[in-house]
C-alpha cells in the first residue's frame, strides 16, 4: 500500500522555490502540524510534499490525516488524485466518502458523485451523515434527477437525519431544481420543527420563481419579512430570486419594494442583484430606471451588458442596443451567444436587416460564437417582418431543429406570412407546426383565416371543425395593470368587473374624441393580412375592437391612476394593429405615456407615436 501511496506524490522541479521553510522541516514530525499545513495549502507542490512526509512518518494508514490530504487535493480540484488516495484506504470512514463525493460535485462531475454514493450504499460498512446527504442532493440538483433524488430521500427518512436543517435545505433545493415545487413546499413546511434559515427560505422562494409561480415567490418573501421568529435578513440570492419573480409578472411596484430592501441591506453594489434589478425594470417597462441601474454598476460583465442590450432591443431602440454592443466589445468584454441573440433581436425589432445579416455572418469570425437555431430563428423573424418572406422561408428550410425550437422557427415564419398576406407561407408554416404537434391552435387559426381571406370558406370551416374536434382552444387574450399593489386583469369582451359601466362610458368618450381627430377605427385597419374580421359587419367590428382587453385595461388605468403618471399594461398576446393605432392617438389626447408589454416586445406610446415606429 505504501508503494502505491508514494506513486501519487508529485515532487517540485529542481528550479522551483520549495514551499516548505527550514523551520517547517523542524516541525514535520508533528501530525498536528501536517494537518494544519494541509488545511492552509493552496499549492499543489506543497500538498504533494506533505503527502511524501505523511508516508515517511508512517501516517499513511491514519484516516484522520489521509482525510485531510484528500480534502487538500479536492480544494485544488485534483479529484483524480483524491480518488486514488481514497481507493487505497483500507477502511475509509464517512469523512473520506463525503470528501470524495463533495470533490466530484465541486468539479462539475455530479454523475460520478452519485456513483461514489451508490458504491458507499452497496459497501454498507459506513452510514452516510448529514454532509454526505447534502452533497448527494446537490448532485441530484445539478442533474435535475428527481427519480434518484426521491430514492435517496427515502433512505434519508429511514436514517433519522431528516431533522438537520442543512440536509433539509439541500433536499428542498433538489426538488425545486427538479421542478417538483409541491414536494419542495412539503419539505419546507416540515422544516418548521427543525428550524428554517435564510438558505431554506431562499431555496423555496427560488423554486417558485424558477417554476413560473412568481406570485407564490412574492407572498413567501412577504411572509419571511413578517416572521418575527427569525433573525435572518434577506441575502443577495433571495433578493435576486424575488426580483426575478417581479420581472416575470411585470410587478413594478413590488419590484420597487424589493429594490428598497436591496438598498437597506447594502446589496446595490452586488453584481448579481444589480443585474437582476436592471432586468426587472426593463421587463416592467421602466427603461429609464434600468439605465440608471446599469450606469451605477462599477465593474460590468457580459451579463450586465447583455441584459441592457436585450432591454433596448425589446423597447425598439435598435441603434442604441448596437452602440452598447460596440462599447462592450471595445472594453474587451467577450460577447456570448445570448449577447448576439440580443443584437439580432435589436435588428429584428428595428428594421435593421442588413446590419442583422452582417452580425449573423460574422459571429464565428469576430466573436467565436457559432450560430444555433435560436439565432437563425431571429433572422427568419427579421427578414419576415421586413417583407423578405421568400428569403426567410428559404433560410428556415435549411435550419435543422428539434420540435421545441422548430415551433419558434416556423411560428416566426407563420407570423411573417400572416403579416404580409402570404397565404402560401401561412399554409406551409401551419402544416409544419401541426405535423410536429407544436403551437397547433395558433397554426389552425392562422391557416383557417388564410383560407378565409383567399375565399376558401369551406376549407376554413373544415379546419375550424377539425380544431374543435381535437380539443384545441385558442388562448384567451388577457391584459393586466398594476394599481396600488393590486393587479387587475381584463379579458377580451369581458365586462364583469364592478366598474364596467364607468369603463365603457370612458371608452365611448375616448372613441368619440378619437373620431373627431379622424380615427376611422377597425374599418381602416382591415387588410388581406389581418383576417381578424372576416365576414363581420362594420358596426360589429367597432364593437369587437372596443372590447379588446388592452383597451379595457387602459380605460381602467386612466380612470384610477393619477394624472400625468405612466400607464403600464401587460398583454399575453401580440398587440393588434387597430389597438396599436388607437393607443398612439390616445397617448396624444390624454397627454400620457402608455407602455404596453406584449408577448414579443414593448410599445411605448407618447405624443401620438410609438417607439416601435410601426415596425413589429
64-85 pLDDT, tens digit per residue, is: 988 899 889 888 889 888 889 8
Q: What is the pLDDT of residue 35?
A: 84
Quickly tell me which residue has 419542495 as its cell: 184
Q: Is the pLDDT of residue 415 over 90?
A: no
* CB-CB neighbours of 108 under 10 Å: 12
* Residue 489 three-state SS: strand
Q: Is the pLDDT of residue 403 over 50?
A: yes
340-343-345-351 Cα dihedral, nearest 10 degrees: -140
Quickly tell me which residue has 471595445 as its cell: 330
Q: What is the CA radius of gyration of the chain?
A: 31
List the grid coordinates of 19: 514551499
- Work out the pLDDT band at 18, boundaries 50, 70, 90: very low
Q: Is the pLDDT of residue 444 over 70?
A: no
List the grid coordinates of 410: 416556423
Query: At 299, phi and psi to the nearest 5?
Result: -120, 100
- Work out the pLDDT band at 420, boundaries 50, 70, 90: confident
List the grid coordinates of 291: 439605465
Let me know the angle formed at the C-alpha of 606 by 497 and 509, rounded to the nearest 5 degrees.
Answer: 45
Q: For the segment 279-296, what is each residue's pLDDT rounded down to a tens digit?
A: 999 999 899 999 999 999
DSSP secondary-structure letter at 523?
G
Q: For the segment 23-40, what is each residue's pLDDT rounded down to a tens digit?
A: 444 444 577 888 888 888
* Residues facing residue 606 across a β-bridge: 609
* 596 Cβ contact list (under 8 Å, min separation 6): 285, 550, 568, 569, 570, 571, 575, 583, 602, 603, 605
DSSP for 227-269, please give it. Answer: -TT------HHHHHHHHHHHHHHT-HHHHHHHHHHHHHHT-TT
* Residue 557 three-state SS: helix
Q: Is the pLDDT of residue 22 over 70?
A: no
Quickly tell me which residue has 463525493 as its cell: 101
* 245 Cβ contact list (under 8 Å, min separation 6): 205, 208, 209, 214, 215, 217, 218, 221, 251
Average pLDDT over residues 488-504: 83
Percent of the chain residues topping a pLDDT of 90: 48
H-state helical runs in 129-228: 130-143, 146-159, 165-177, 181-190, 198-210, 214-226
Closest CA to 133 of 122, 120, 147: 120
Say how far residue 32 (Cα) sits from the centre of its chain.
Answer: 48
Closest CA to 43 of 67, 79, 10, 4: 10
Q: For the segment 520-537, what is each residue's pLDDT rounded down to a tens digit?
A: 765 433 344 444 444 444
H-state helical runs in 387-529: 389-398, 403-419, 423-435, 440-453, 457-469, 500-516
Cβ(378)–Cβ(348) below 8 Å: yes
Average pLDDT over residues 204-230: 89
Cβ(349)–Cβ(615) below 8 Å: yes
Say how far residue 566 (Cα) sits from the centre of its chain.
Answer: 27
pTM of the model: 0.78
**Is residue 245 packed enough to be buried (19+ CB in 10 Å), middle (13-18) or exposed (0-12)?**
buried
Cα–Cα distance measured from residue 309 to residue 325, given in angstroms and rounded to the nearest whole number: 7
Q: What is the pLDDT of residue 540?
A: 39
| Angle subtended by helix axes 110-123 and 130-143, to nearest 10 | 140
Q: For the segment 292-333, what is each residue's pLDDT rounded down to a tens digit?
A: 999 999 899 999 999 999 999 999 899 999 999 999 999 999
State the chain's mean pLDDT as an integer.
84
Closest CA to 495 of 551, 537, 538, 562: 551
Amino acid at each position: 500500500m505504501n508503494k502505491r501511496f508514494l506513486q501519487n506524490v508529485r515532487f517540485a522541479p529542481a528550479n522551483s522555490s520549495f514551499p516548505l521553510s527550514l523551520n517547517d522541516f523542524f516541525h514535520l514530525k508533528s501530525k498536528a502540524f501536517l494537518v494544519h499545513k494541509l488545511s492552509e495549502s493552496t499549492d499543489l507542490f506543497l500538498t504533494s510534499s506533505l503527502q511524501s512526509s505523511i508516508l515517511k512518518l508512517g501516517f499513511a494508514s491514519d484516516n484522520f490525516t489521509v482525510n485531510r490530504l484528500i480534502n487538500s487535493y479536492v480544494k485544488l480540484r485534483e479529484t483524480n488524485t483524491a480518488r486514488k488516495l481514497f481507493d487505497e484506504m483500507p477502511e475509509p470512514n464517512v469523512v473520506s466518502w463525503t470528501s470524495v463525493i463533495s470533490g466530484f460535485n465541486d468539479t462539475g462531475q455530479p454523475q460520478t458523485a452519485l456513483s461514489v454514493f451508490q458504491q458507499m450504499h452497496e459497501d454498507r460498512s459506513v452510514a452516510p451523515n448529514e454532509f454526505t446527504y447534502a452533497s448527494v442532493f446537490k448532485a441530484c440538483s445539478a442533474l435535475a434527477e428527481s427519480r434518484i433524488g426521491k430514492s435517496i430521500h427515502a433512505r434519508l427518512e429511514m436514517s433519522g437525519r431528516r431533522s438537520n436543517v442543512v440536509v433539509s435545505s439541500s433536499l428542498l433545493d433538489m426538488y425545486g431544481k427538479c421542478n417538483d415545487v409541491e414536494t419542495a413546499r412539503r419539505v419546507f413546511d416540515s422544516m418548521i420543527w427543525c428550524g428554517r434559515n435564510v438558505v431554506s427560505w431562499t431555496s423555496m422562494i427560488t423554486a417558485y420563481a424558477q417554476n413560473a409561480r412568481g406570485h407564490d415567490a412574492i407572498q413567501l418573501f412577504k411572509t419571511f419579512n413578517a416572521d418575527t421568529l427569525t433573525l435572518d435578513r434577506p441575502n443577495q440570492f433571495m433578493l435576486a430570486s424575488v426580483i426575478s419573480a417581479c420581472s416575470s409578472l411585470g410587478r413594478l411596484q413590488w419590484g420597487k419594494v424589493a429594490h428598497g430592501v436591496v438598498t437597506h441591506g447594502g446589496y446595490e453594489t452586488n453584481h448579481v442583484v444589480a443585474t437582476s434589478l436592471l432586468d426587472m425594470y426593463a421587463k416592467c417597462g421602466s427603461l429609464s430606471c434600468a439605465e440608471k441601474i446599469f450606469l451605477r454598476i462599477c465593474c460590468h460583465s457580459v451579463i450586465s451588458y447583455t441584459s441592457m442590450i436585450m432591454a433596448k432591443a425589446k423597447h425598439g431602440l435598435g441603434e442604441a442596443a448596437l452602440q452598447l454592443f460596440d462599447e462592450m466589445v471595445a472594453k474587451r468584454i467577450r460577447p456570448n451567444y445570448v449577447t448576439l441573440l440580443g443584437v439580432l433581436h435589436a435588428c429584428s425589432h428595428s428594421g435593421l436587416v442588413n446590419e442583422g445579416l452582417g452580425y449573423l455572418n460574422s459571429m464565428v469570425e469576430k466573436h467565436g460564437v457559432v450560430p444555433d437555431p435560436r439565432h437563425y430563428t431571429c433572422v427568419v423573424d427579421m427578414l419576415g417582418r421586413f417583407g423578405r418572406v421568400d428569403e426567410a422561408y428559404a433560410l428556415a428550410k435549411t435550419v435543422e431543429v428539434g420540435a421545441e425550437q422548430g415551433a419558434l422557427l416556423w411560428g416566426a415564419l407563420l407570423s411573417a406570412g400572416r403579416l404580409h398576406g402570404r397565404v402560401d407561407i401561412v399554409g406551409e408554416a401551419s402544416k409544419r407546426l401541426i405535423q410536429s404537434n407544436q403551437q397547433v391552435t395558433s397554426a389552425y387559426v392562422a391557416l383557417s383565416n388564410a383560407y378565409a381571406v383567399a375565399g376558401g370558406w369551406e376549407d376554413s370551416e373544415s379546419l375550424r371543425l377539425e380544431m374543435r374536434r381535437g380539443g384545441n382552444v385558442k388562448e384567451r387574450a388577457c391584459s393586466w395593470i398594476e394599481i396600488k399593489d393590486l393587479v387587475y386583469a381584463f379579458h377580451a369582451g369581458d365586462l364583469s368587473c364592478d366598474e364596467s359601466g364607468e369603463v365603457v362610458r370612458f371608452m365611448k368618450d375616448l372613441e368619440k374624441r378619437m373620431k373627431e381627430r379622424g380615427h376611422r377605427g377597425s374599418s381602416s385597419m382591415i387588410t388581406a393580412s389581418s383576417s381578424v374580421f372576416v365576414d363581420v359587419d362594420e358596426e360589429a367590428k367597432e364593437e369587437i375592437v372596443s372590447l379588446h382587453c388592452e383597451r379595457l385595461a387602459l380605460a381602467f388605468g386612466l380612470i384610477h391612476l393619477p394624472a400625468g403618471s405612466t400607464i403600464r399594461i401587460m398583454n399575453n398576446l401580440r398587440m393588434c394593429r387597430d389597438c396599436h393605432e388607437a393607443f398612439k392617438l390616445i397617448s396624444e389626447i390624454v397627454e400620457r405615456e402608455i407602455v404596453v408589454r406584449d408577448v414579443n416586445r414593448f410599445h411605448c406610446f407618447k405624443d401620438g407615436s410609438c417607439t416601435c415606429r410601426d415596425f413589429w
